[in-house]
Amino acid sequence: MKSLRYLAPLGVFLVIGAFLAAGLKLNPREVPSPLIDKAAPSFELPRLLVMESSVSAADLKGKVWLLNVWASWCVACRAEHSLLNELAAQGLVTLVGLNYKDAPEDARAWLRELGNPYDMIAVDEKGQVGIDWGVYGVPETFVIDRTGVIRYKHIGPVDRKVLRETILPLVSQLRS
């Protein structure tokens, strides 16, 4: 009976160690989204550069498009921005910006400084649309198919590898 008293803590330690070892193998950028393969949440928001008009998910039906969630206060957004400018110059996909919890005047100044890769930009000043889309933080990028279904979500700044190996092949597949 005494040996059982010493084996129980050892067993608990081994179980905890196994969970920790399994957790170290997970990619923190791969947070599963319950929205994958589901219809993109609808929205209608003012456009950043033409505040009198609006942009909605319905405007994009029939197109394969990317939604890039960004903010002028986001350091990681700055890191991916030049790549988004390159992507826009190639004209391979419609790129929609969701300016998240940001002052519109700050966002416009940021775009004047760094360039505007977006075909259109929706202003989500209060962050409600971001919540509907399951945004954890900025930047995040979604791939949406022609029928308005979310097919992929990338958390964090998009880099060349993710763009080349995941996003662009998926866009090409969805356009076929």
The string of pLDDT tens digits covering residues 35-79 is 999 999 999 999 999 989 999 999 999 999 999 999 999 999 999
Query: How high is the pLDDT of residue 162?
Result: 97
pLDDT of residue 29 exceeding 70: no
Whether the CB-CB separation of 117 and 87 falls below 8 Å is answered with: yes
Q: Which residue has the tokens 């990338």?
A: 154
CATH number of 30-175: 3.40.30.10
**What's this model's pTM, rounded to 2 decimal places?**
0.83
pLDDT of residue 30 exceeding 90: no
Q: If you ran DSSP here, which 8-state letter would residue 149 be given?
A: B
pLDDT of residue 31 exceeding 90: no
**What is the rounded average pLDDT of the residues 135-164?**
97
Q: If you ran DSSP here, which 8-state letter would residue 32 be given?
A: -
Q: Comparing C-alpha atoms, which of 14, 21, 37 is closest to residue 174?
A: 37
Higher pLDDT, 6 or 170: 170
A 10 A CB-CB count for 91 gives 9
User: Rounded CA gap, 29 and 81, in Å?
Assistant: 19
State the pLDDT confidence band at 28, using cuts at 50, 70 and 90: low
Which range among 22-36, 101-115, 127-141 shows the weakest confidence by mean pLDDT?
22-36
